[in-house]
Structure 1
C-alpha cells in the first residue's frame, strides 16, 4: 500500500499545477474557458476516465453562468443531452437547439438573451407538438427537472436493436394504445354515481389517458375512498389513485407483438361485453425482442400467488418468480415510512374524537409463505386482451393493501402493557385473501374476532365472532361499512358502537327488528359518526337512518341507493369534506 510520504509529492505537484492554471486563466472570460473545456472533451471523448472530471468542470461552469445568454442556454442544453445519451446540434440560424434520439427529438426554440420561445416534442414519423411542461421548466431554468423529464423519455424508448427494430416496436406500441382506447370506449353500465371514480374502478381497463408532453399513455386503475376525499378537500376534484404507464421494454427472447390494430371497427364483442380480437398471424404481428409493459406508479407490493396469476394471464411472459419475498405488511411499511420490521410491529391509529386504536402484526404469523410477496415495478405482457385481466389482479391486490395500510401508521410504538387505548387489536393472516382482527370490547372480558375476506376489489365480506352474540344481519352491515370506507379502524369503531347499542338494551325493543331491517337495506355511507343518530328526509339525501337504538322516524329516508359500487361516494364522510382533510387518519 502506498504510504503518505509517497503520495505527498504527487499531491504537491497537483496543487502547483492548479495554481499555475488559475494564474494563467485569471484574466480569461467564462466563454473562453468554456470553449477550452469543450476542446479538451472532444480530444478525450474515447476515454471516460479522462473526460469525467472535465465534464464535471463544464457542469460547474454552466451552473455559474446560469444560462443568461443564448450561448449559455445552448451550452446547458448540450450538456443535458450529453448526460442523457442524446445527440444535440444547433440550427444554421442558431435559433433552434435540437436534442435527438433514434425515436424522438426535442426542438427548443430560442430567443436572444437565452430566453425560450417554445419546446416541441416529436416522435418518429409524427409532427412536433408543443410541450407546455417542458417549456415551463426551461423558462424557469429548472434544468435538473428538465433533465429528469428527458431521462423519462429515454427510458420510455429503451429498446434494443437497430433503428428498424426500434421503429417496429414503437409502431406496435402505438397500435396497442389504439386498441386500449377502443376497449375503453365500449358501452357498459354505470355502477358509481361519480363518473370518474366509476371509470377507474369499473372500467374494463380503468381510466385511459393519451400520451402527452412526452409522457406515455397512462391507465388509472384503482382509487380508494381516502384518495377521493383527499382530492375533494384539496381541489374539489376527485383525487388521483394508482396508475400504470403503458410502455415497451427489452426482452431476452422474442415475442409476437401486433403491428396493426387487432380490434375491428366497429368492434365486435363477446357474451361478456369484451372485444373479439383478430388472431396474431404473420400478417398482423411480428416477432420482436421486446414486450409491452405496465409500469406501476407507485410500485405495488404483491402477494406471490397474485404474481403467479399474472404469469398465467400473460401466457408465461411474466414467468419469473421474485427472488426475494417478504411479508406483505413489511413491504407496505417500507413504502410509507422509516419504521423497521423486526418480529412484527405495533401501530397506533388515531381516529376522530380523540380515539386511539392499537394494531399489532405478529412477525411469526405474517411470515407464512401464503402472505409473502414482492414489490412489483413493471408487468410485462404481449396482447391488449391481457390488460383487463391484469388490471383486475392489480385492483384486487390494491384493495388488500389499502385494508392493511389502514391499520398501519407512522405512530409506531413499543409501549408497555399499561398503555391506554380505546381498542387493542391483533391482525392475523388467514387464507390468501382473508385476515382476522382479534379484539376485546370495553365491557367484555371475552375476545372477539372479525374475519375479513377480500374476494376481489369490489366485494368484501365480514364475519363477527363473539361469545353469546349472533347476528347475521350485523355481518352484512359490517361488510357494507368496510366496502364503503375501506378502513379496518373505522369499521372497528362502527362495530363498537353497533354492538354496544344492541347489548345495552335489557329488554328487547319491538322496534329493533324494524330498525335492523332498515339498516340492512341502507347504503353503507358510513363515517365515524355513522351510527350515532338517525337522519330524516329533511336532511341531505346523502344521509340514511343508521341508528338501531332510536325510534324509526315516519319520514326517514330508507330508500336503497342504486349504487352497489364499493367505492366511496361524495356523502361517505360529508363532515370531512366540509371541514378539510381527515388529518386524524393520515
Structure 2
C-alpha cells in the first residue's frame, strides 16, 4: 500500500511548483518564463526525477510556441540537442548555434526573427559543408524531422571507446572508403549494356556512392530484373536495388584496422585483376575494439551455410549470431512487402501465380522438406569485416544469396483466393530443396501420367544451370535455352511457361532455341506479370523485351581515363581487355576521371 501512495506527494509537489511559478511570474511574458525554466534546467540537480516534470513541461511549451524570434529558435535547437545527447552553445556574436558531438558538429546560422540562413555539417578534421536538407527542414519549421536527421547522424558516429579511440576508428573508416573507391575504378570488362546495372551486378564492389550530409558511403550490390523494369517504367532510371551502408561498429575483441590506404597509387593488380594490398603491419594499422560493418538495407534472409562462408572470408570475424533459424522460404515470406501477412508457413504452402492469357500456375512448398538443416537461414542486418580485401568476396556471397531469394520469391503470390475454388491450373508444380544452392521443380504437363523435373543450380549470381528431366526426352540445347531464360528473367513461373510452350508443340510453333534466344519465353508477358505482382506498376512490352530478354551484349573494356594517374595503371593482368568500341556511349566516364577521394 505504501508504494501505491508514493506518487501522491510527488504529484502534489509538482502542482505546488507549477502553481508558485504561475503566481510569481503572472505579470511576466511567456518568453521570460521559458528562459527562466531553461536556465534552471541547465543547473545540476541531485535527483533527476525532480527535473522530469519540468522537462516535460518545457518541451510542451517549446512545441506550442510559434518560433518567431531568435531566442525561441535557440531554445528549440538546444532542446533538440539535449534530446539527442548532443552538446550545444552559441557563438560569441550570438548568431550561430552549435550542436556538437565528439566527431561532428552542426552549425545553424541564424538571422533576426528566428530565421535560418544556413546549416552546415562538419565532420572530424574536415571543413563544414552546407546541408540543403537540414536547412530546408528548419526553414519549414519541421523540428521533429530535423531531430530525426540528427539522430541518424549521431548513430553513424556510434563508435565505441573514448574520444581518442573514436577519432582513430573514424580515421580508419575514411581510409577504407578511399581504398574502396580505388577498387571500384580498376579496369574491368563490361557485361551489361546498361552501365548502372553492370556496376551493381558485376562491379567488384557494386555501385559505390560517397557519403554526403552526414550519411555513410553506400554500396548497391544487387538488383532484380523486375526492379530494373519498375525503375525504367516509373522514372526512366534503374533503381530499387539492395544496398549496404559502410559504417563501423563495436566489437568484444580488438581487431587490426588500417590507419592509411593499403593500395598503392597507381594500383597494382594480381592475375585476377584484384589490387595488391599492403600487409597490415604495426606501422600501417592499429588494434581497435571495432570492426567495419555493412548495414544491409533491407536486411537479407541468408542460409546458415552462407553465413559461415562469410566468417571464413573475414578470417573468423563472425556476423551477428542468428537468434532464430527458419526455413529460407519462411523467412522470405515474413520479409516480403507484397505478400498478405495472413499467409503463414505450414506443412504445405500453396501459391497460385496468374500469368497472361488467363494462365494459372500452382506452386507448392512442402514444409517438411524445406525444414532440412541445409536450407535453414536467418535474417542478417549487419556483416562485419576488417579489411578492404574482404569486400569483393562478401559482395559475391550477398549477390549469390540474393539470386536464390529472388528465384524462390518469384513463386509467391497473393492470389490465395483462387485456391480451393475449383480452378483448373495450367501447371502444377512442387518446389523441392536439393543442396544449399540447388532446387528442383516437379511438374506434370497436359497428360498427368508422367512427371517431369527441372533441376536448377544457382552456381552464383552470374551463372545458373538448368536440366530438364522428362521420360524419353533428352535435349541439351533446350537445357541451355532454359538456363538463358531463367538467367535473364530470374522468375520460375516465366521459365516454366517457356518450358511448357517448348515441349507442347500445339501451344507454340517450333523454333530454333539458338536463334529465338529468350524472347519466346515471355511472348510479351513480362509487363502483365509485373502488373499482376504489383498492380500499380505498368511496363511497356518494348521495355520488357529490351531489358529482360535481350540478347547478351558484347563485352567491352571499361576504365576511367579522365585523370593522368590512370595512364600508369597496371592493366597487363586483366582478361578480355578489348578496346571499348562505344566509348561515346559512356562519355561521362571518360570526362569525369577519378573522384576527389583518390587524389
SS of structure 2 residue aligned to 1:76: helix
Displacement of 1:335 in angstroms is 1.5
Q: Distance in 2 between matches of 1:174 and 1:3?
A: 54
- Relative to structure 1, is the Cα distance of residues 366 and 50 closer, same or farther in structure 2, using a 3 angstrom cutoff? farther
Tell me, yes or no, if structure 1 residue 313 matches structure 2 residue 352: no
Q: Distance in 2 between matches of 1:186 and 1:161?
A: 35
Gaps of 5+ in 2: 527-540, 557-599
Contact in 2 for aligned 1:436/1:449 (Cα 8 Å): yes
Question: Could you tell me which residue of structure 2 aligns to residue 297 of structure 1?
Answer: 297
Question: Could you tell me which residue of structure 1 aligns to residue 484 of structure 2?
Answer: 480
Question: Could you tell me which residue of structure 2 aligns to residue 208 of structure 1?
Answer: 208
Pick one of 513, 522, 544 that aligns with 1:528.
522
Contact in 2 for aligned 1:87/1:101 (Cα 8 Å): yes
Tell me, yes or no, if structure 1 residue 116 matches structure 2 residue 120: no
Question: Could you tell me which residue of structure 1 aligns to residue 97 of structure 2?
Answer: 97
Displacement of 1:200 in angstroms is 0.9
Pick one of 340, 346, 356 that aligns with 1:343.
346
- Relative to structure 1, is the Cα distance of residues 51 and 368 closer, same or farther in structure 2, using a 3 angstrom cutoff? farther
- Relative to structure 1, is the Cα distance of residues 55 and 327 closer, same or farther in structure 2, using a 3 angstrom cutoff? farther
Q: Distance in 2 between matches of 1:64 and 1:12?
A: 23
- Relative to structure 1, is the Cα distance of residues 46 and 8 closer, same or farther in structure 2, using a 3 angstrom cutoff? closer
Q: Distance in 1 between matches of 2:285 and 2:400?
A: 32
Q: Distance in 2 between matches of 1:118 and 1:49?
A: 37
Question: Could you tell me which residue of structure 2 aligns to residue 508 of structure 1?
Answer: none
Contact in 1 for aligned 2:257/2:387 (Cα 8 Å): yes
Q: Distance in 1 between matches of 2:19 and 2:320?
A: 59
Question: Could you tell me which residue of structure 2 aligns to residue 283 of structure 1?
Answer: 283
Q: Distance in 1 between matches of 2:33 and 2:352?
A: 60
Q: Distance in 2 between matches of 1:82 and 1:204?
A: 43
Displacement of 1:305 in angstroms is 0.4
State the Cα deviation string for residues 518-563 of structure 1 (Å, max 9, x = none).
Answer: x22554356732599xxxxxx989969xxxxxxxxxxxxx987536
Q: Distance in 1 between matches of 2:351 and 2:133?
A: 40
Question: Could you tell me which residue of structure 1 aligns to residue 367 of structure 2?
Answer: 363
Displacement of 1:375 in angstroms is 0.9
- Relative to structure 1, is the Cα distance of residues 392 and 15 closer, same or farther in structure 2, using a 3 angstrom cutoff? closer
Question: Could you tell me which residue of structure 1 aligns to residue 554 of structure 2?
Answer: 562
Identify which range, 73-82 or 460-469, moves more after superposition: 460-469
Displacement of 1:187 in angstroms is 0.5
State the Cα deviation string for residues 155-190 of structure 1 (Å, max 9, x = none).
Answer: 211112222211111111111111111111100111
Contact in 1 for aligned 2:431/2:439 (Cα 8 Å): yes
TM-score for the superposition, normalised by structure 1: 0.83
- Relative to structure 1, is the Cα distance of residues 9 and 169 closer, same or farther in structure 2, using a 3 angstrom cutoff? closer
- Relative to structure 1, is the Cα distance of residues 85 and 15 closer, same or farther in structure 2, using a 3 angstrom cutoff? closer
State the Cα deviation string for residues 268-310 of structure 1 (Å, max 9, x = none).
Answer: 1100000101111111111111111111111111100000000
Q: Distance in 1 between matches of 2:50 and 2:17?
A: 17
- Relative to structure 1, is the Cα distance of residues 498 and 324 closer, same or farther in structure 2, using a 3 angstrom cutoff? same
Q: Which has the higher contact order (CA 8 A, sep 6+)?
A: 2
SS of structure 2 residue aligned to 1:189: strand
State the Cα deviation string for residues 208-265 of structure 1 (Å, max 9, x = none).
Answer: 1111111111111111111111111111111131111111111111111111111111
Identify which range, 461-470 or 479-488, moves more after superposition: 461-470
Q: Distance in 1 between matches of 2:118 and 2:82?
A: 21
Tell me, yes or no, if structure 1 residue 471 matches structure 2 residue 510: no
- Relative to structure 1, is the Cα distance of residues 3 and 302 closer, same or farther in structure 2, using a 3 angstrom cutoff? closer
- What does residue range 442-521 of structure 1 map to in structure 2 within 5 Å? 442-501=446-505, 512=510, 515-516=511-512, 519-521=513-515
Identify which range, 19-28 or 157-166, moves more after superposition: 19-28
Tell me, yes or no, if structure 1 residue 185 matches structure 2 residue 185: yes
Q: Distance in 1 between matches of 2:503 and 2:274?
A: 45
Contact in 2 for aligned 1:44/1:50 (Cα 8 Å): no
Gaps of 5+ in 1: 506-511, 533-538, 545-557, 565-586
Question: Could you tell me which residue of structure 1 aligns to residue 163 of structure 2?
Answer: 163
Identify which range, 65-74 or 218-227, moves more after superposition: 65-74
Q: Distance in 1 between matches of 2:457 and 2:35?
A: 68
Q: Distance in 2 between matches of 1:44 and 1:221?
A: 50
Question: Could you tell me which residue of structure 2 aligns to residue 64 of structure 1?
Answer: 64
SS of structure 2 residue aligned to 1:151: helix
Contact in 2 for aligned 1:87/1:100 (Cα 8 Å): yes
- What does residue range 43-442 of structure 1 map to in structure 2 within 5 Å? 43=43, 47-318=47-318, 321-337=321-337, 338-339=341-342, 341-344=344-347, 345-412=349-416, 415-416=419-420, 418-442=422-446
TM-score for the superposition, normalised by structure 2: 0.82
- Relative to structure 1, is the Cα distance of residues 527 and 339 closer, same or farther in structure 2, using a 3 angstrom cutoff? farther
Contact in 1 for aligned 2:495/2:521 (Cα 8 Å): no
Question: Could you tell me which residue of structure 2 aligns to residue 552 of structure 1?
Answer: none
Displacement of 1:32 in angstroms is 3.2
Q: Distance in 1 between matches of 2:325 and 2:184?
A: 34
Q: Distance in 2 between matches of 1:35 and 1:303?
A: 57
How large is the RMSD of aligned CA atoms in angstroms? 3.1
Displacement of 1:417 in angstroms is 6.8
Contact in 1 for aligned 2:330/2:345 (Cα 8 Å): no
Contact in 1 for aligned 2:352/2:360 (Cα 8 Å): yes
Q: Distance in 1 between matches of 2:95 and 2:521?
A: 59
Contact in 1 for aligned 2:108/2:118 (Cα 8 Å): yes
- Relative to structure 1, is the Cα distance of residues 528 and 319 closer, same or farther in structure 2, using a 3 angstrom cutoff? closer
Q: Distance in 1 between matches of 2:360 and 2:67?
A: 54
- Relative to structure 1, is the Cα distance of residues 390 and 123 closer, same or farther in structure 2, using a 3 angstrom cutoff? same
Q: Distance in 2 between matches of 1:175 and 1:449?
A: 51
Displacement of 1:320 in angstroms is 6.0
SS of structure 1 residue aligned to 2:504: helix
Contact in 2 for aligned 1:347/1:413 (Cα 8 Å): no
